[in-house]
Amino acid sequence: MNRLFVYCIFVSMIFVLLSCRFRSTSDLNENSPPEVTDILINPVKPQVNDSVMFNAVVVDPDGDLLTVNWKVSDGKLENDGRGNPIKFTPPNDSGYVSLSCIANDGRTTGSLTKSLFIMMEPAELMGFVSDARSHNMIENAHASLGNNTTRTKPNGYFRFQDLPVTGPRLLSITKEGYKHFTETVSLSPGMNTKNVVLEKIPGTVFGIIRDAGSNNLLEGVRVALRDMEDSTSFSGYFAFRDVPVGTHTIIAKKSGYYTLPRTIEVKPGENQVDLDM
């Protein structure tokens, strides 16, 4: 009886020891993977040329020491994508970027992937439109940039806002009496400036010179306008081309006649000036 009792106690002790050992080994082999619960992004709405910080919120139930690695579909991560938080440089163009955070406890990993939209700051274009000769500002000139249109203010000012930065486009400025201005411009994010100088369309001055008494056509009359000179033909005809718009003095000279000066107002296009001497 005593032997049987001792044997039972011995067997029980062995069973208890084996159970404890098995439980201890099982506990050592069990591991809960880390979990990436969120990715914090600063600034929340990043733009091209921003300096962006990623900060992962990572939980490990076992309290293991973790390493954090990052991957992005575009742009550049500092330190080859290792560390938390980490600095990210966006790509040069707007669009979606996929970013992934992988946490590793040495045995298992946990990860989280997000899609991030990189915005590009819109462009603005402003400037002043002035007269090439007088340097006065030109009001109510029509300005267009692609599908955007506006008119200049009394001080010659124009402005286009909220423009996408999408390559070169045509800037056009028109005003009655002036040469049409066009130029291809490339815009950068933020403010862009382009001042425009318009040249007036030149005029053509022509006419016939007659004798005031007989009404006969006068040949060989020397006619001067600004720094230009002409002589009348047998039909009394003279002409000047590319005359700047504005007020000028035309002078006619011929032997035996009084010199005839006349103030004329030259407009764009054709201007007929007939003279009697």
CA 151, CA 160: separation in Å to the nearest integer? 10
Question: What is residue 180's DSSP assignment?
Answer: P
- List CB contacts of 57: < 8 A, sequence separation 6 or more: 36, 37, 38, 39, 40
- Domains, the chain, with CATH or none: 35-118 (2.60.40.10), 123-198 (2.60.40.1120), 203-276 (2.60.40.10)
Count of alpha carbons within 13 angstroms of residue 44, beta-carbon side: 0
| Tokens encoding 66 | 């973790």
**CB burial class (10 A; 0-12, 13-18, 19+) of residue 142?**
middle
pLDDT digits (tens, 9 = 90+) for 44-82: 989 888 899 999 999 999 999 999 999 999 999 999 999
Give residue 25's pLDDT.
45
Give mean pLDDT, residues 122-150: 95
pTM value is 0.56
Is the pLDDT at 175 greater than 80? The verdict is yes
Calculate the average pLDDT of the chain. 89
pLDDT band, very low/low/confident/very high, at 3 (cuts 50, 70, 90): low
For 106-119, what is each residue's pLDDT tens digit?
Answer: 999 999 999 999 98
**What's the chain's length in residues?**
277
| pLDDT of amino acid 47 | 87
Question: What pLDDT shows up at residue 52?
Answer: 95
The yes-or-no verdict on residue 1 having pLDDT over 80 is no
Residues of the chain with pLDDT > 90, as a percent, come to 73
pLDDT score recorded for residue 251? 96
pLDDT beyond 60 at 10:
no
Lowest mean pLDDT among 5-9, 35-39, 197-201, 249-253: 5-9
Which SS3 state, helix, strand or coil, does residue 112 take? strand
Gap between the terminal Cα atoms of the chain: 162
Which one, of 130, 16, 40, 19, lies nearest residue 88 by Cα? 40
Provide the pLDDT for residue 152: 97
Asked if residue 17 has pLDDT above 90, the reply is no
Confidence of residue 257 (pLDDT cuts 50, 70, 90): very high
Give tens-digit pLDDT for 27-38: 446 889 999 999
What is the predicted pLDDT for the residue at 23? 44
When mean pLDDT is compared across 24-28, 241-245, 256-260, the lowest value belongs to 24-28
pLDDT exceeds 80 at position 208: yes
**What are the tens digits of pLDDT across the range 228-249?**
999 999 999 999 999 988 899 9
